[in-house]
Amino acid sequence: MKKMLQLKRLLIALSLIVAATSTRAQNAEMTITTYTTPGNTPPIWVSLNGFSGEAAEVLRFDLYVQGFNFTNADNAQYLISGSNTSDTLTGRVVDNLQKSTKISKSYSGASIRRQAHKFVDDFLEALNRKGIGQSKLAMKVGSGGSSEIYVSDFDGKNSQAVTRDGTIVSAPCWVPDKFALYYGSYKLGNPAIFSHDLSSGARKPVAYYGGSSISPAVSPQGNKVAMILSKDGWMDLYVADADGKNLKRLTKTPEDESSPCWSPDGKWICFASKIKERRALCKVSVNGGPVQVISVGGLPSPSEPDWSPDGKWIAFTIQRGDFEICVVPAAGGTATELVAGEDPCWSPNSRTLVFNQRSGGHLSLLDVPTKQVKDVARVSSGANSQPSWAR
């Protein structure tokens, strides 16, 4: 009961009461950020003045992982100024090039941390961009025979345990537009896939066939789930309705498939496989049919793909000595190597990636255009891995 109440409070806290007065109307429709050269875009320079303590810390973090960097007022494109008390925040942004005010607002009614997140999101909306300050992460915490699923804010703060199974859990996956997860657990003995409504605490097994049932991936429409099952002897890709019914096998090969993810239109499932003993990224229609290889320009051992919400990119991991995060156009082609790490997952705005730093056992955020990286606050005391970003 206590855990349920904590999770409900976490959900309620997502709504921020804003007492706002704006100096100009923001009528532009918010869009997902687009870019053509991952890792080769200079940051946008801003100055930041007047904020203190936790508010200043949050603003600097949020701006940096979304492509901004800091300089003095003379050299900044945007002048960000304001003030904060223990329970209120006032912020203003001036375009130093056009000499115009982009946003001027006051915030109250939530923690100073959430107010600062909201101010950055509102600034990005004024730039016709989508912010990530109100978004959530899910992750595996722990290793070996003891791990649990946790959820947190996108920066790792305000974390809450979802499971207390006292066994191995894996691969949390958000249900789009719902406060709910799918994940794997050994709670029933062999690996099973569970669905879990975080608002009510209700959960139930979706796939449990005696062998391995792992790696759930919910479709963008929320009505289907892809998964890897060994029920017919091999680790193949399957798709089913969200409740696990109407199961359909999509691949049949002695090579182990892994890490399914969906195209934003729900028509394709991308996954890692092997072609002639070499690891490859592939895709297959949700209705079945021939498997198609996605070229990554010859990079070795691609795995752990994730399709960006705007449909343009696939992020994945390669292993060449160390693990590295890469992105490739969704149609395949020349891939870009970005940073050391593994298991990337896209943010809702198709710009930021969360990924696992194996050496330190923690998560980090990567701004894909600029390659700017910040570590996420560690959740609990165990290793943090297998992140999933709510969309």
Residues of the chain with pLDDT under 70: 1-35
The first and second tokens of residue 331, run together, are: 């149609």
| CA dihedral sign, ordered 79, 54, 50, 123 | positive
Task: Judge whether 42 and 372 are in contact, CB under 8 Å.
Answer: no
| CA-wise closest residue to 352 among 32, 30, 116 | 32
**At which residue do the structure tokens 């940073």 appear?**
339
DSSP state of 287: T
pLDDT score recorded for residue 145: 85
Output the DSSP codes for 112-130: HHHHHHHHHHHHHHHTT--
Q: How far apart are CA 41 and CA 336, in angstroms?
A: 13
pLDDT of residue 8: 45
Task: Give the pLDDT confidence score for residue 26 in this predicted structure.
Answer: 33
Q: Say how far apart CA 47 and CA 79 lie, in whole Å.
A: 5
The reported pLDDT for the residue numbered 37 is: 81
Residue with tokens 């592939």: 282
> What average pLDDT does the chain have?
91
For residue range 298-307, what is the model confidence (pLDDT) as tens digits? Answer: 999 999 999 9
Specify the amino acid at residue 260: P
- Spatial CA neighbour of 147 closest among 187, 207, 107: 187
Q: Name the packing angle between helices 53-64 and 112-126 (round to 10°).
A: 40
Residues 205/222, Cβ–Cβ less than 8 Å: no
Tokens 């160390």 map to which residue?
322
User: CB burial class (10 A; 0-12, 13-18, 19+) of residue 73?
Assistant: middle
Q: List the 224-229 sheet strands across, edge first.
A: 213-218, 224-229, 236-241, 248-249
Q: Within a 13 Å sphere around the CA of 261, how many CA atoms are in the beta-carbon half?
A: 29
pTM: 0.90
Quote the pLDDT of residue 296: 97
Q: Which domains does the chain have, with CATH numbers?
A: 17-31+43-126 (3.40.50.11830), 136-389 (2.120.10.30)
pLDDT the model gives residue 34 = 55
